[in-house]
Structure 1
Amino acid sequence: MADHHLLYEQICQAYERIKEFIRCTPLERSYPLTEGTSGQVFIKLESEQLTGAFKIRGAFNKCMLLKERAAASGQQVQVVTASTGNHAMACTIAMKTTQISGKIFVPNNASQAKLRMINLMGGSVHHYGDDCFETEKRARQEALDNNSIYISPYNDLEIVAGQGTIGVEILKQLPEVDVVMGCVGGGGMLGGISAYLKAAKPSIKIIGCSPANSAAMYHSIRAGKVIDIENKETLSDGSAGSIEEEAVTFEICRKYIDEWVLVTEEEIADAIYFMMEQHHKIIEGSAGVPIAAYCKMKERLDKMKVVIIACGGNINMSILNKIILSKNNSQ
C-alpha cells in the first residue's frame, strides 16, 4: 500500500516543481447548476489547461523528475507511454520541454481530435489495441524490450502527485470547499486530489463519478480488489477501459473517495450540452461525467460549496455535432 502521507508531501513538492510550466486554471461559479437550491457550485476548468486537460500536470512532474535523475547519473532517458489521447498530448509537450525522447502508444479507437494534436505537437505515435488496457500492456513491453522508462497514465505515484496539484489550487481558490466531484478512470486525478485534500482538510467529501458503461474502479472497489469488467462504448473516452491489477491508485481511491455516482450516456451528453449553452465552454465526455452526477444528487448537496472538476475539453467535433443535433431535434 502506498504511504499516503508521503504522497501528500510529494504533491506539495510537485506543485512547486511544475507551477511555472502549467496554468492555474479558473474556478468558475455555476449559477445555473444551483438554480432552485441554496448551494454554491464552482467548476474547476481543467479544460482550459495546457493541451486542454489536467494530464499536463502529471506529465511535467514525471518528466522533470526523470530529467533531474538523468542529469545526476549522466545517462540519457528514453520513455514510452500509452494513452487515449490526453496523457499522450501532455507527455509530448513535457518531453519536448525537458528534451526527453520517447514513443506514444494509443488504442485504435483514440479520439481523432486528440491524435491530430499529438501529431501537430511532434509526438511519435504508434497504434495498438482496442482499449487502453491492451495499449498499456504493449507499451510496457516496448519499454522492457528497449530499456526505456514506461510512464503510466495513472499507475505511477509521481504522475498521481502531479495530478494532485489540482487539489492545491482548489484549496487556495476556495478554502471553504465542502465537496469535490471528479471523474474516475484509472484514478490518478481524483486519487491525487483526494490524497491532498483529505490531509489538508479532512472534512472535505470526495465523490467519485464514472460512466456506467465503463466504471472499472467503482466495480473494483465494490469487489475489494481490482477486477476485469466489460467496458462498453462511452462518451467519456478519456476515462474508459480497465485498470492494472497492481494499480497504486486502487488503495488511494478506496481510502479517500467517500461516495460513488454512475451516470448514463444521455446524462453525459446533457452535461456537455449544458456547458455549451450555459457557460459557453466546450468540454469532453469525462468532464461531463461529474456535472451529470451533480445534477442527479443536487438536492442532497444543498447548502454546500461544491467543486466539480471539468477535467478536459478535447472532444471530437463529430461527437459534439451529434450531441447538438440531438438536443436541437428534441426541443
Structure 2
Amino acid sequence: MSSNTSSTKLITASSGNHGIGAAFAAHALGKDLTVVLPENVVPMKLERIKSYGVEVILHGSETGLAEQHGQQLAATGEYNYISPYNDPEIIAGQATIGLEILEQCQKVDNVFISMGGGGLISGIGAVMKKFSPRTKIYGVSATSSKALAESMVAGHVVEVEHRDTLADAVAGGLDSNSITLPLAMSVVDHVIECNESEIREALRALAFEENMIVEGSAALALAGFNKVIADVGQGTSVIVLCGANFDLDVMKSILL
C-alpha cells in the first residue's frame, strides 16, 4: 500500500472482480475511490463498478499495466493505493473462504484454486495448512498469463508474456516485492497449467453438466482438476469458483 496516509482518496487496480468488491465497499462506507482497469476489461465488470459511483480510469492492455498506473498515481501523494493482492488485509479477507470450506466439509483432501496475483491462493492455502495440514493445495495457472507460476519456479518475481485469456481475472504480473510469492511457495503443493482449449471445455462442462455459468478464471480451477482427476478422483476435492462476471458475447461464442 502507499506510504501516504494523509489522503482520504483511495485508488486500486483490477481486472474487474477486485474492483467490483472495492467499489461496493467504497459505496457502502462513503469513501472516495478510483479504480484503474485495463482497456480490455469485461464490459459487465466495468458497468458493475461504475454502478457504485466510483471514478474509473482505463489504462493499458493488461492488468499489470493498470496496476502500475494506479501505483504511479498514488506516488503523487494524492491517493492511498490498495493492491488487489499484495496486501495482508486483502489476503486475510480472501482467506475467509478457507474457513467457509472447513465449516462445510469435514474432510478436504484437495483444493483447486486459480492463480493470478496470488492473494486468493495465499489466503485460502494459509488457512488450510493451519487447520487441515493434510489437505493438498493445487494452484491452477492459465498458460497465456502465468506470472506467479513462473515466479514460483524461479524463486523470485519474473516477467512473462501476457496473452489474451478467457481467465482474464487472473491475468497480469506481480509487484516486485509481492508478499504473495513467498506465501504461495509455502502453501501450494502442486501447480497445474491449462491452455485456452481446456478452460473453454471447463466452461462448457459447468454450463451443461452443472447448470452454472461462470467466468473463465473460475472454470480454470475446474480445468486444473480435470487434468489430474485420475490421481485425486477418490478423495474429497474442492474447486473454488472465483467469479461469474463473464463477457456475454464471449460466453455465447463458447456455449452456443
Fold conserved (TM > 0.5)? Answer: yes
Q: Aligned pair 1:167/2:110, yes or no? A: no
Q: Distance in 2 between matches of 1:85 and 1:323?
A: 21
2:47 is matched with 116
Q: 2:204 aligns with which of 263, 273, 276?
A: 273
User: What is the correspondence of 1:176-255 to structure 2 with a 5 Å cutoff?
Assistant: 176-255=107-186
Match of 1:81, SS state, is strand
Larger CA deviation: 121-130 vs 312-321: 121-130
2:229 is matched with 298
Match of 1:164, SS state, is helix
Deviations 1:252-298 (A, max 9, x none): 00111000000110110111111111111110000011101111110
1:51 is matched with none
Match of 1:261, SS state, is strand
Match of 2:231, SS state, is coil
Match of 2:19, SS state, is helix
Match of 1:109, SS state, is coil
Percent identical: 34
Q: Aligned pair 1:321/2:252, yes or no? A: yes
Q: Distance in 1 between matches of 2:247 and 2:53?
A: 20
TM-score computed with the length of structure 1 as normaliser: 0.74
1:104 is matched with 35
Deviations 1:84-112 (A, max 9, x none): 11111111100111221121111111111
Q: 2:189 aligns with which of 258, 270, 275?
A: 258
Greater RCO structure (CA 8 Å; 6+ sep): 1
Q: Distance in 2 between matches of 1:318 and 1:185?
A: 23
1:19 is matched with none
Contact 2:32-2:54 at 8 Å conserved across structures: no
Structure 1, unaligned runs of 5 or more:
1-61, 63-69, 326-331
Match of 1:105, SS state, is strand
Deviation at 1:324, TM superposition (A): 1.4
Deviations 1:5-27 (A, max 9, x none): xxxxxxxxxxxxxxxxxxxxxxx
Q: 2:214 aligns with which of 283, 304, 325?
A: 283
Match of 1:310, SS state, is coil
1:88 is matched with 19
Contact 2:7-2:80 at 8 Å conserved across structures: no
Q: Distance in 2 between matches of 1:166 and 1:140?
A: 28
TM-score computed with the length of structure 2 as normaliser: 0.96
Deviations 1:58-89 (A, max 9, x none): xxxx9xxxxxxx9xxxx772210011111111
Contact 2:125-2:188 at 8 Å conserved across structures: yes
Deviation at 1:123, TM superposition (A): 2.2
Q: Distance in 1 between matches of 2:77 and 2:253?
A: 42
Deviation at 1:176, TM superposition (A): 0.7
Structure 1 letter corresponding to 2:46: L
Cα RMSD (Å) of the superposition?
Answer: 1.4
Structure 1 letter corresponding to 2:223: A
Q: Distance in 2 between matches of 1:302 and 1:133?
A: 36
Q: Which of structures 1 and 2 has the bigger CA Rg? A: 1
Structure 1 letter corresponding to 2:130: A
Q: Distance in 1 between matches of 2:63 and 2:230?
A: 36
Deviations 1:179-215 (A, max 9, x none): 1111000000011000111011111100000111111
How many aligned residue pairs are there? Answer: 253
